[in-house]
Amino acid sequence: MLRALRHRNYRLFFSGQTVSTVGTWMQTIAMNWLVYKLTDSAFMLGALNFFNHVPGFLLGPVAGVVADRYNRHKILIITQSLAMVQAALLAILVLTGKIAVWHLLGLGFALGCINAFDLTARQAFVVDMVEERSDLPNAIALNSIILSGSKLVGPSMAGILIALVGEGVCFLINAVSFIPVLAALLAMRVQAPVNGIKTGNSPWREMHEGYLYAYRFPPICYTVLLLGLVNLTGTAYVALMPIFAHNIFTGDSHTLGLLMAVTGLGAICGAAFLASRISPAGLEKLIPRAVALLGITLLVFSQTNVLFVGLITLFFTGLGSMVHIAASSTLMQSLVEEDKRGRIMSLYSMSFGMTPFGNLLAGIMASYIGAAATVGIGGLLCVVGAMLYVSRLREIERYTKKKDKALERVSEEGDLTTAPKCLARR
């Protein structure tokens, strides 16, 4: 289950990210709670998350080309440093009592721009940190465990700290948490170049080639489309969670932290399940099942005002969500050709760029029909998306079965980078 930790660079990355992502989730909860406290508006909650994530959608294509053309290791050092500065600015504004809603929106947008390049480079850089490509699925699953664990610990800590000392300390802790990940990146022994193959083509041509490749390759095309749908309709519950905590479950910041933490616990279990898998075979069947679980549990969550029932359903929501995200990433990473990895993984990142549109729409809908009905509609659309993916499963399996045979053939040679090339000759 911990095979990827044999690799020194990935072990450093894992340790640094374990600390940093806890701080990131503390900041996320603090920003949402602070906006709701300042405005008492569901729309402003949606607006904040829109500004946080829309740059990922707008800048995704550029970030993919950058990740393929330039040193991914250096890109991550730059983006992590900028994210630390953003968190420090938030801390200063809050602790000095000068924070305003427009500060949160503006700095949220700035972080979104940073994350657009960071997430794409990070996804592609995982391959550079793991020398034995057979350990790649395990590395992706372990990375998901980090994210899930931070979602369990971070919101809980944020809820306690907000109640005791306020939101500013959460932002300060997040700024400090970037130090370990920067130290880990600087300590890595990376063999240059850690980027894609430079073809001499213009960035616009490379961007077009990446899109065309994804469009003509059904497993990647349908997987990205389903990711986009789920991020549009099935993640808005996170932005609306302060409303559930305060109005529906009649709680406070502790309740908010508990709701987010149990979602993280479910996500950890989902990621651990994927980490225990030896082979990526069968992921194309697992993906729609996970999305269906996510949708059904959101439907149930939207219909209850009992905290205990809400916590149980959110556990399975987190499990389904993480299995879907990690399985999709693993499937795409194992299929894509090396010289297109950054551009294809930018599409993966761009799918998360649908989240702000979903959050903004959810904020508007919640203002008219309520948060519960909004989340329920999102869950129903996730179930529909899973059914549509299943309807294309036979077409997807034509390619994934070729992948499984290619992986078996080249694994004996110890270089799994040739497997995607075998698939490309179709």
pLDDT the model gives residue 302: 92
DSSP string, 86-138: HHHHHHHHHHTT---HHHHHHHHHHHHHHHHHHHHHHHHHHHHH-SSGGGHHH
Per-residue pLDDT tens digits for 214-260: 777 888 889 989 999 999 999 888 888 888 888 888 887 788 878 88
Asked whether the whole model's pTM tops 0.75, one would answer no
pLDDT the model gives residue 410: 42
**193: DSSP letter:** P
Per-residue pLDDT tens digits for 357-374: 887 788 889 889 999 999
pLDDT the model gives residue 2: 67
Q: Which of these ranges, 68-77, 92-101, 110-119, 303-312, has the smallest mean pLDDT?
A: 68-77
Nearest to 67 by CA among 16, 21, 123: 123
Work out the average pLDDT over 257-285: 81
**246: DSSP letter:** I
Work out the average pLDDT over 204-216: 72
Domain limits, the chain: 3-189+202-424
Work out the average pLDDT over 108-127: 86
In a 13 Å sphere around the CA of 210, the CA atoms on its Cβ side amount to 30
For 3-189+202-424, CATH gives 1.20.1250.20
CA dihedral 62, 65, 68, 71 (to 10 degrees): -50
Per-residue pLDDT tens digits for 137-148: 777 778 777 776
Per-residue pLDDT tens digits for 322-345: 899 888 888 887 777 766 767 777
- 33 or 148: which leads in pLDDT: 33
> H helices then E strands: how many in the chain?
17, 0
**Opening angle at CA 119, ends 239 and 54, nearest 5:** 45
Contacts of 250 (CB under 8 A, 6+ apart): none
Residue with tokens 């440093």: 81
Highest mean pLDDT among 53-62, 191-200, 205-214, 402-411: 53-62
Contacts of 234 (CB under 8 A, 6+ apart): 291, 294, 295, 298, 321, 358, 378, 379, 381, 382
pLDDT the model gives residue 86: 96
Copy the structure tokens of residue 66.
């950058």
**Alpha carbons 372 and 320: distance in angstroms, whole number:** 20
| Confidence bin at 399 (pLDDT 50/70/90) | confident
